[in-house]
Amino acid sequence: MPELPEVETVRRGLIPAMEGRRIFRADVRRPDLRWPFPKNMADRLTGKTIERLRRRSKYVLADLSSGETLIIHLGMSGRMLISGDQLGVFHSEHPAPEKHDHVVFDMEGGARVTFNDARRFGAMDLAETATLEDHWLIKPIGPEPLGNQFDAAYLVDRLKTKNSPIKSVLLDQRIVAGLGNIYVCEVLFRAGIHPARKAAKLSKARIESLVPIIRDVLSEAIDAGGSSLKDYRQADGELGYFQHTFRVYDQEGNPCSAVGCGSTIKRIVQSGRSSFYCPTCQR
């Protein structure tokens, strides 16, 4: 599932084609994805201007001139792909519709943005912009890891009573927004923390050290266009490249990249998810 860097990369890629532009026509080609689409979604989108494209956790949010916000979740395999002429960047004709092209936005200016989702685990919803923070998808989400509300004092306070493994706690979207399996594995390796260590047992100094590491890993991944594993593509169809710098994720059996370590990357399963770590570097 795309994590924060992938969703942020998609958002940035969509801005030239969508932000500040009117939706000339919205075509909703099925009644649902993960759950039913909002009532009259195509009519509520057609003719509206996307005033702002932003991100909250793993959701792309499109604020509309109607006072509503379109909430987009990519799910496991969802893609937002651009075709047509967009400010002179893309010059190809629109491709023929594909089987899994479920929602199509024909934008003012000639660009077409297609939401393609083979597994149909993605989702879209519409909510009033003014009360968006109370929407059931958005309300439980914790602070953005790249924002000012996420700092050392906050993380120390939230982790001090958590007896779950640190890996599980950092995956909890109520604690911190947008982190997923890939980046938590990479963060814990850089921090030298074993994924099975109980969060409440970590020292204050070790917890505080996680904040800049989380910021660094996410920023590097965004700069690399995210990590392309299986289905993920950027909005222009290109792959992300952060997977080429993985130090532990999906590296089971490979030598640890730390200078002088000599150990082999191991894998354990936590709550049904694979955790990759170095048994020497991570304690």
16 and 78 belong to one structural domain: yes
pLDDT tens-digit readout, 85-128? 654 454 456 777 778 999 999 999 889 999 999 899 999 999 99
> Is the model's pLDDT at 228 over the cut of 50?
no
Q: Let me know whether 97 and 19 are in one domain.
A: yes
Residues 241 and 270 in one domain: yes
Same domain (yes/no): 30, 116: yes
For residue range 129-148, list pLDDT tens digits in order.
999 999 999 999 999 999 99
Of 2-11, 77-86, 178-187, 196-205, where does mean pLDDT reach its minimum? 77-86
Instruction: Kindly write down the DSSP assignment for every residue of the chain, as one continuous string.
Output: ---HHHHHHHHHHHHHHHTT-BEEEEEE-SSBSSSBPPTTHHHHHTT-BEEEEEEETTEEEEEETTSEEEEEE-TTT-EEEEES-STTS--PPPPPP-TTEEEEEEETTS-EEEEE-SS---EEEEEEGGGGGGSTTTTT----TTSTT--HHHHHHHHTT--SBHHHHHH-TTTSSS--HHHHHHHHHHHT--TTSBGGGS-HHHHHHHHHHHHHHHHHHHHTT----TT---TTSPPP-GGGG-SSTT-TTSBP-STT---B-EEEEETTEEEEE-TTT--
Task: Answer yes or no: do 126 and 159 share one domain.
Answer: no
**Annotated catalytic residue within 12, 22, 44, 273:** 273
- The rounded mean pLDDT for the chain is 90
Residue after which a domain boundary falls, among 134, 162, 186: 134
Q: Please tell me the predicted confidence (pLDDT) of residue 104.
A: 96
Mean pLDDT within 219-230: 69
- The residue range of the domain holding 95 is 4-134
Q: What is the pLDDT of residue 232?
A: 40
The confidence score (pLDDT) of residue 172 equals 97
In this structure, are 199 and 122 located in the same domain? no
Residues 228 and 164 in one domain: yes
Amino acid 236: pLDDT: 52
For 166-191, what is the mean pLDDT?
A: 96
Residue 119, domain CATH: 3.20.190.10
More confident residue, 243 or 160: 160
User: What span, in angstroms and rounded, lies between the C-alpha atoms of 35 and 57?
Assistant: 20
Q: Which residue has the higher pLDDT, 12 or 203?
A: 203
Least confident window among 34-48, 76-90, 128-142? 76-90
Give the CATH number for residue 263.
1.10.8.50
Q: Which of 3, 6, 8, 68 is catalytic?
A: 3
- Give yes or no: residues 187 and 92 share one domain: no
Q: What is the mean pLDDT of residues 60-72?
A: 98
Is 142 within a domain?
no
Q: Are residues 172 and 253 in the same domain?
A: yes
> What is the reported pLDDT for 229?
43
Residue 146 lies inside a defined structural domain of this protein: no
Question: Final residue of a domain: which of 106, 134, 162?
Answer: 134
**Is pLDDT of 224 > 60?**
yes
Based on the domain organization, do 51 and 93 belong to the same domain? yes
CA distance 249 to 257: 12
Amino acid identity, position 207: I
Q: Mean pLDDT throughout 200-206?
A: 97
81 lies in a domain?
yes
Q: Is residue 231 part of a domain?
A: yes
Verify whether residue 144 is a known catalytic residue.
no
- Mean pLDDT calculated for residue range 143-165: 97
Same domain, 9 and 120: yes
pLDDT of residue 90: 46
Pick the catalytic residue from 48, 58, 79, 233. 58
Q: What pLDDT is attached to residue 234?
A: 46
* 201 domain-assigned: yes
> Is 70 exceeded by the pLDDT of residue 226?
no
Q: Is residue 23 part of a domain?
A: yes
The pTM score is: 0.89
State mean pLDDT over 242-264: 87
State the pairing for strand pair 112-116/59-64: unpaired
58 is known as an active-site residue: yes
Report the domain count for the chain: 2
Shared domain check, 161 and 108: no
- 145 in a structural domain: no
The reply to whether 220 falls in a domain is yes
If pLDDT is split at 50, 70 and 90, which confidence band does 244 have? low
